[in-house]
Structure 1
Amino acid sequence: MRGHSFLPCDRAFGIIKRSLRHKERLYSVQEYMKLIVSSSRQSDFFTVHLVSGEHVTEFKKWWVQHFKKTALSLETKDRRIPRTEKVSFSISKFHHLTFKKIGCDVPVKTQEFIDGLTKHTFLLKIRPQITVSLPNEPAYGPRQLCINAKKMQDLKKCVQFVPEDEKNKFWDEILQWPTAENVEDEELD
């Protein structure tokens, strides 16, 4: 993403890359976690959390429950601006969002890229009598996500090169995941 190299975390990625150069192969997520934690001379510089499906929350359904579904940017709201040039709020369009609640109003300053030149401000009104809290419903529910069938074939080819003493629960679980011919076309519940 344009602008990512100016973020403070980019320096952290550089530290990890230096450690990664010294490793010929890594076979599991736990090995990556150990590598990241031990990359810095400072013992508490990195903290790694293993994220699973239940940690990913449903934001799209949550958003419309609390805020107006359509909002035009304050910069393009004027009647003199043609309809084709008006900018509506879309959570998936903007990658840099800054907001601060002021009473019932939530001015959200957005940019398509990190520190991008084009900025839009949206005034999103919280719906009355609703207490706003962060989303807590899992995005994927209790079912396990499917892996594309072609990717699964590639994984099965790769696992033959993993030494027997390195094969572990990680590889056994991955190879048992359900597959789909085309995951993008699969209907999600």
Structure 2
Amino acid sequence: MIVTSSCKRSFIFVIPDSISILEFKQWWPKYFKRTLLSQESCGKSVPRDEKTSFKQNLFMHFMTMLDFVARSFVDSLVMHHFRILDCKLSDLVLPADTAYPAGFIHINQKKIDDLRKLGNYIPHTEDCQSIYNDIFLWQT
């Protein structure tokens, strides 16, 4: 997880513990909509081919307010408002269950093999090597 960054290309990384990673897969459908139509194109009065659904590759500029505002390019005059919450903000309760209660993540053996191939490109500092050596010991 990148915590801070700067124009000088200096970054501060924090490796989250398994306790910090919460179970969002089962949590988010209770509160968020699966498909998003813009507020401007909702309703029966708008023909189906004129409806604007949220697709990440269509929009370049995002802002969050009460709604989610997306523009097709930076500072575009055309804005689309999306309501991502399916409930009231007061009902929103963050998940309490951790995603990895055993304290580790199972990784596919093919992914571990791909990471081993990157060994020549990993900086040979003690910190970087220790991170990858720990990952190589995880269960598959």
Q: What TM-score do you get using the length of structure 2 for normalisation?
A: 0.56
Correspondence 1:172 to 2:137: no
Match of 1:98 among 64, 67, 72: 64
TM-score with structure 1 setting the length: 0.45
Structure 2 residue runs without a partner (length 5+) = none
Using the alignment, how far apart are the partners of 2:58 and 2:135 within structure 1? 32
After superposition, the Cα gap between the structure-2 partners of 1:109 and 1:170, relative to the gap in structure 1 and judged at 3 Å, is closer
CA contact (8 A) 2:71 2:80 kept: no
Q: Residues 58 and 50 from structure 1, CA distance in 2 versus in 1: closer, same or farther, beyond 3 angstroms? A: same
For residues 120-159 of structure 1, the aligned pairs below 5 Å read 120-123=80-83, 124-126=85-87, 131-139=91-99, 142=102, 143-146=104-107, 148-155=111-118, 157-158=119-120
TM superposition shift of 1:121: 1.6
Runs of 4+ in structure 1 over 6 Å off: 90-95
Aligned CA-pair RMSD: 4.3
What is the DSSP-based 3-state SS (H/G/I as helix, E as strand, rest coil) of the residue aligned with 2:64? strand
Q: Against the structure 1 CA distance between its residues 59 and 92, is the aligned structure 2 distance closer, same or farther, given a 3 Å change threshold?
A: farther
Which letter maps to 1:96?
F
Instruction: Measure how far apart 1:135 and its partner are.
Output: 3.4
Look at both structures and tell me which one has the larger radius of gyration over its CA atoms: 1
- Percent sequence identity over aligned pairs: 25
Higher relative contact order (CA 8 A, sep 6+): 2
Aligned residues: 128
5 Å-filtered alignment, 1:35-184, equals 36=11, 49-67=14-32, 69=34, 71-88=36-53, 96-100=62-66, 108-111=67-70, 115=74, 117=76, 119-123=79-83, 124-126=85-87, 131-139=91-99, 142=102, 143-146=104-107, 148-155=111-118, 157-158=119-120, 162=124, 166=126, 169-179=130-140
Over 3 Å counting, the alpha-carbon distance change for 1:121 and 1:162 in structure 2 is: closer
